[in-house]
Chains A and B, each alone.
Chain A
Amino acid sequence: MDKYSTYQTEDFLKDESFINWVLDPEGAGNQAWTTWMNSGPATKEAAQKAIEIIRTLDFKKEAVAGDFYGGLKQRIDHTIAMGQTVPAKRRTIQLSWLKAAAAIAGLILLGWVFFNRKPSYTYFSTPYAAIKTVWLPDSTEVVLNANSSVRYNKNRLNNTREVLITGEAFFKVRHVDINGKAQAFKVYAGNTEIEVLGTEFNVRSTHEATAVMLRAGKVRFSITGSDAEKIMQPNDYCFYNKAQGTISTRTADPVMFTSWMEHKYRFENATIKEVCETLKAYFGYDFILRNDALNTQTVSGTLELQNEQVMWQVLSELFNAKVAKQGNQVVIQ
């Protein structure tokens, strides 16, 4: 790094690797500068000045309301979902031979038929740390927890009520009768299916498992491509684990599983690992447990999610451990 011994402040200000180091001293490949500075170079003062100037160039952030980003994302999701009914490509065909024309016309017709059969989905989603209520066209209410989505085919919703969810959602399904016959409502979560006839329940779906808590009414919980199924009664809690391929059922208090709608999580004899997984699903942070004893420890309590600062304090008291959040990582020890 010889050339830097003749650098002036302005030269440092124009040096890309120098700027990168000031912006991110820990970044990969940037440590060489730390070494250089510590070696007491003749131009250290000039470099120091450049550092100060760059650090001062921290600009004002315009105030943007917290729900702006979620609202905008929903608008984007909506436009994209609607856009699927618009032909993606316009074909221009020059016809010289009748034969070719006929063949191409046949192809286009096929393509057109295929295209029009493509379902058009409406999509709602939530970012991390946000909860939202949406209403489906049949007036069914869906409350989405953080980082979750619900999708339905808007052309078909009138005759078969089917929705796909990811993440966690609470449903208040409206009972619909057509000619005296109750219309089914189906929720698909992962490879599980929940069939209902007007009821209130909570679904939580991850890569490995799906859990359903029924508050009122009656649902059938089944696994696609398997005989496993369970007719659920109010206060039943069903848990399906993909790896085991079985449904386990127990009775539980629905309040424990639906408190997230009031921006709270309630835990009763939950392991710290379970608590961390729940918070990971909500906030998107990675949790690192530095102490093995914490793994098996169980806790009970309520966490308010809206004030993160307070939440980390409560968590630390609940776990009786140190909770430190750095960027996207939460370290517990």
Chain B
Amino acid sequence: MTRTPFDSHTAQEDRSLIIQIRSDDYAAFTLLYNKYIRQLTQYGLKFIPDLPAVEDCLHDVFVWLWTNRHKLQIHSSVKSYLFKSVRTTILHLLQKQQRLQSLNADDGPGYRFELELTPESLVEQNESQRQLRQQIENVLQKLTAKQKEVIYLRYYEGLNFEDIARNMNLSVKACYKLMGRAIATLKESIPGVLSIGILLMYCR
């Protein structure tokens, strides 16, 4: 897998970086930037496929972080905090550009979150994996932006549901529900996939 796992060691390391940044350590700020800028850029591009616009938002996020370092209050993981900052800044920009109708429409289009699987040419797989991949791709197209975003943050970036809910201004319960609905779509669209385990058990 090409994704970078997010574990407790990384979280600890990030917290100490923030403590250094609070005490005016610019090198620590640079380290934090180098650590997350690639992931944050990819995340931003899911909202707007426009690199210069994403660049402007990332610029604002990091300048804000440094300028306000003395009064930073981070209640989630640092990684999650950065993701939230990028999200807020980008949605704000979209709102300003009036590309956005309403953020509050429960499951309405609101914003876009374009999600595609890694191109097939880049992954080695057998026939059944290829089939599963195709099915998941079809399901992704049916999901709402919010559902796709939850999937991206949970399964790809490894943020926990609590942090995702906080970032997306949802209750943890609503976040689970979104996830549940996405999985239900998966279950409907992939005949047999989810009962295959039970089937195999009886065949033995």
Contacts and interface: CB of A to CB of B under 8 A. Distances in A.
Interface of A: 8-10, 13-14, 16, 19-20, 23-24, 27-29, 42-49, 52-62, 64, 68-69, 72-73, 75-76, 79-80, 83, 88, 123, 125, 127-128, 166
A56 B189 CA distance: 16
A46 B198 contact: yes
A52 B179 contact: no
B196 A49 contact: yes
Contacts of B74: none
Contact of A57 (B156, B161, B193): B156
Contact of B59 (A59, A60, A72): A72
Given A27-B5, A49-B196, A60-B119, A10 B187 contact: yes
Interface of B: 1-3, 5-9, 26-27, 30, 33-34, 37-38, 41-42, 45, 49, 51, 55, 58-59, 62-63, 66-67, 115-119, 123, 129, 132-133, 136, 151-152, 154-156, 158, 160-161, 176, 179-180, 183-184, 186-187, 193-198, 200-201
Contacts of A43: 197
Contacts of B194: 8-10, 46, 49
A60 B116 contact: yes
A73 B129 contact: no
Contacts of A27: 5, 7-8
Contacts of A125: 30
B197 A9 contact: yes
B50 to A, nearest CB: 11
A131 to B, nearest CB: 16
B62 A19 contact: no
Nearest to A327: B4
Contacts of A10: 183-184, 186-187, 194
Q: Is the interface of A mostly helix, strand, loop or mixed?
A: helix
A72 B158 contact: no
B82 to A, nearest CB: 14
Contacts of B200: 45
A332 B119 CA distance: 34
17 contacts: A10-B186, A13-B183, A24-B5, A24-B7, A49-B194, A49-B197, A56-B136, A57-B117, A58-B118, A59-B118, A59-B152, A60-B119, A75-B55, A76-B59, A79-B63, A83-B63, A166-B27
Contacts, number: 141
A79 B58 CA distance: 13
A58 B3 CA distance: 7
Contacts of A52: 129, 132
A1 B119 CA distance: 37
Contact of B117 (A24, A59, A80): A59
A23 B42 contact: no
A64 B9 CA distance: 28
B164 to A, nearest CB: 11
Nearest to B33: A73
A285 to B, nearest CB: 13
A44 B196 CA distance: 11
B156 A56 contact: no
A169 B135 CA distance: 54
A60 B43 CA distance: 11
Contact of A9 (B8, B30, B193): B193
Contact of B51 (A44, A53, A58, A68): A68
Nearest to A88: B67
Contacts of A62: 41-42, 45, 49, 51
B66 to A, nearest CB: 5
A307 B184 CA distance: 46
Nearest to A48: B197
Nearest to B155: A57
